[in-house]
Amino acid sequence: MIGIAKTIKDNVQTCTSEKLNEALDSPQVAEVCRAIAQALEAHRRGEMTKEAFEATKARMKKQLPILTLHATFKNGRRKNDEAIPSGLAIYDLDHIANPRAKWAEIEARKEELGILLAHITPSTEGLRLAFIIPNGKSLADAQAWMAEQLGDTQYDACVKDYARCSFLVPREYVLYVDEEGLLAELLPSREGEGGVSESAQVDNKADEMDVCHTPPTPSQEGTYPVTYEEIPYETLVEVLEEQMGGAPEHESRNNFIFSMACHLRYVCNDDPLWIAQVLPAYGEGEDKWRATIKSACARNQAKKMPRIMERTLTICRERLGLDTEEKLEIGTPPAMPRRLPPLVKLLVSRTPKIYQPAVAHAIFPALATHLWKTTFRYIDNVEHEATLMNVLMAGTGAGKNCISEPINRIMADIRERDRVNLQREREWKREMQTKGANKDKRQRPEGLVIQEIDPDMTNAAFVQRLADAEERFLYARMNEIDQFDALKTNANKKAHFQIMCLAFDPGNVYGQTRVGTGSVSERVCIRFNWNASTTLAKGKDYFRSVLTDGPISRINFCTIPKRTIGSEMPVFGQYDASFDEELRPYIDNLNKARGLVECKAVNRLSKKLVEEYAEFSRLSQDRVYENLSFRANVIAFLKAMVLYVAHGEKWDKTMEEFIRWSLEYDMWCKMQFFGKAIGRLEKDDEETFRTKGPQNLLDLLPEVFTREEAQLMRHRQGISEGNVRTMLSNWKRRGYIEEYGDVMPQNEVARQQYIKTPSYLEKHPQAA
């Protein structure tokens, strides 16, 4: 018999015909596999990095039901010591271009080989076979036997344990199934009298990445807790792995296991057996894997939990819906004006009141994306384009999706133009794929302006889109701020933060130079407006490493206060044709604008705001507030100019009130979310700047001193390495000091005195 479970985290049940067919015909299974296939195509087109695709695939597969083809389990837990072998084995043919064609080669021998199931894997890049284990063979022997039968020298050798699972696929992926044979009760073991082989006595925890995990065997390990502060260890390990850059490559897995074990010590009581229960082997041999964990537990390390573990726990609590927001409770932001500019009033008109301030901020990047070759001169005489970026930071379940529909309506005309050009690009790519390498190929079509981009794209694809845009803005809407991470490069792990900064700065230059004829080689000006959402905890953590590097001051932040417990559900209005009709004139005004646009009223307001914020900074003596206010004023100016243009270059009192509030709200968010952290960092920098550097310790001592006085001076200077005896011995040997006799304080033992030598004082007169 074989087992089945709803997901990789659920208990295993005996698989029946009804359960199997229900899973194969499930719309959800079909949708998940369709999404994985689409992600693969995006990766092949260069719109998604390999790392992003693998992460997406792994995440999506966790939504699929599983079969345990090797065994069922006594208590439903996928543990090898509770396995009841099915008599079947799994064989994988990975990374093949055409799984259906490969099966066509094998199909005629399916009875001879004992194959009961053949299906395309969820990634669509592999073929999975389930077959009857020949008499007397272990799982490993059966696998090697099948490899020999198929002439496969590159087979995956990491399927030797009974807890191995197989992700189910939609029926269209199934190439062959002998349902009666698959679900039959075969012999309990095909390995002779030995039953489950010693090499298979491992406790495989998840194997969701289809890698060979070989966790430990001792029975006492099963007594360890399965959660840490309500967080399942499986989730904790998964998130920690993500924080460390994902599963390791073959050559780096030992170092990766060592680092993981070092971090897990903080949540596993420094117990190597406990760590071994939760930490995968990542394909490493069991002996070496165990030795690495033991070595990690033997090293000295700080008692305080490192930041990466603290961050891991925060993310785990967030994903599991545990209460992480208590420590991040925010107060009440400035109230929005009752009178609003007509465009803003329209765009928040279908939004419940609690969400209106967030929407009122979030609409500006999409509005500004319609401007083309349009500049505005700030009061410092520098010309800016409408570069606007917005991050909505709010608690879990706060309703951050409230900004989506207003943005969709604003972007409707751009999306229609993009749709036409995307089709042109697809046709060109299809034409290129049909031509041989040596045939003439048509150049990339001109005019492929595609403004709204998928944020999960490579840096090269991003540069290509900028080059195609003909100086128009690109735009992206990100449900999570870390979608920006796809723009990292191997050469620059902070490229995504650099892009945020450059996008705001006038006249920036960015790109890449490549030798290959098929590679992207462009130098462009980044024009990139975007919206992103995140929780409070994740947002604070995301920008933690760049608090004073520029991104925070260039981004416009907004939030959603927590609703009162038990309050009524907010109800949205209808976004209909009449809404679109009212919006159209404002969008048309933005599309028509060209050249330098100036407004004296906006300039007067900007000067007034700069003076007011400078005055407050002087009175409060808050340098963080002052530094953040500089670019916040520029953001407010750009918003004002977008409103001015959208309203047909007309200005009124409601716009001034709105911009004042918008600036105050932006500053309130920045100080709430990041103010204290930036302040601590800048204070540390000031202390470092004030330090005079290393000082001559002997010069700080009096001409005659005792060993105890030397020890005290070492302590005052923060010197912890070495010891005072060695230091004094070295000084004596080099002729800096000599013994001077003993001093006998009252009621104490004699203390050795030292005196600086004449030769030392001659070279260092300041030491006298």
- DSSP state letters, 293-312: HHHHHHS---SSPPHHHHHH
CB of 150 closer than 8 Å to CB of 101: no
CA distance 146 to 483: 42
Residue 107: strand pairing partners: none
* pLDDT, average across residues 467-493: 84
Residues in the chain: 768
pLDDT at 654: 95
pLDDT at 636: 97
CB of 619 closer than 8 Å to CB of 650: no
273's enclosing H/E stretch is: helix 272-278
* pLDDT over threshold 80, residue 600: yes
CA distance 253 to 250: 6
Upper half-sphere CA count for residue 215 (Cβ side, 13 Å): 26
Classified as helix, coil or strand, 510 is strand
**Percent of the residues in the chain that have a pLDDT greater than 70, as a whole number:** 83
pLDDT band at 514 (very low <50, low <70, confident <90, very high): very low
CA distance 148 to 135: 16
Q: Which amino acid appears at position 762 of this protein?
A: E
pLDDT at 145: 87
Among 266, 442, 534, 265, smallest CA distance to 276 is for: 265
DSSP collapsed to 3 states, 185-249: CCCCCCCHHHCCCHHHCCCCCCCCCCCCCCCCCCHHHHHCCCEECCEEHHHHHHHHHHHCCCCCC
Q: Compute the Cα dihedral for 709, 710, 716, 721 and give only its sign.
A: negative
Q: Which amino acid appears at position 430 of this protein?
A: R
CA distance 179 to 58: 28
557's enclosing H/E stretch is: strand 556-558
Q: Compute the Cα dihedral for 24, 29, 31, 32 and give only its sign.
A: negative
> Residue 425 class from Cβ within 10 Å (0-12 exposed, 13-18 middle, 19+ buried)?
middle
* pLDDT, average across residues 186-199: 38
pLDDT at 386: 95
**523-565 pLDDT, tens per residue?**
889 999 999 999 988 898 889 888 888 899 999 999 998 877 7
CB of 79 closer than 8 Å to CB of 163: yes
pLDDT band at 196 (very low <50, low <70, confident <90, very high): very low
Lowest mean pLDDT among 20-24, 479-483, 712-716: 712-716
668's enclosing H/E stretch is: helix 653-670
Long-range contacts of range 218-226, CB-CB < 8 Å, 24 or more positions apart? 218/273, 219/81, 220/273, 221/273, 221/274, 221/276, 221/277, 222/79, 222/81, 222/277, 224/268, 224/271, 224/273, 224/274, 224/277
CA distance 172 to 767: 87
Helix/strand number for the chain, H first, E second: 29, 24
Burial call 297-317: b when 16+ CB within 10 Å, e when fewer: beeeeeeeeeeebebbbbbbb
* pLDDT over threshold 90, residue 689: no
**68-88 pLDDT, tens per residue?**
999 888 888 888 778 888 888
- CATH class given for the domain over 697-767: mainly alpha
CA distance 203 to 215: 5
Strand pairing report for 231-232 and 556-558 = unpaired
pLDDT band at 439 (very low <50, low <70, confident <90, very high): low
* pLDDT, average across residues 226-249: 84
Classified as helix, coil or strand, 176 is strand
CB of 382 closer than 8 Å to CB of 506: yes
**314-330 pLDDT, tens per residue?**
888 877 766 444 344 45
Could you tell me the residue ranges of all domains in the chain?
A: 3-210, 342-434+443-564+572-683, 697-767
pLDDT band at 159 (very low <50, low <70, confident <90, very high): low
pLDDT band at 408 (very low <50, low <70, confident <90, very high): very high
Lowest mean pLDDT among 56-65, 155-164, 557-566, 656-665: 155-164
Classified as helix, coil or strand, 269 is coil
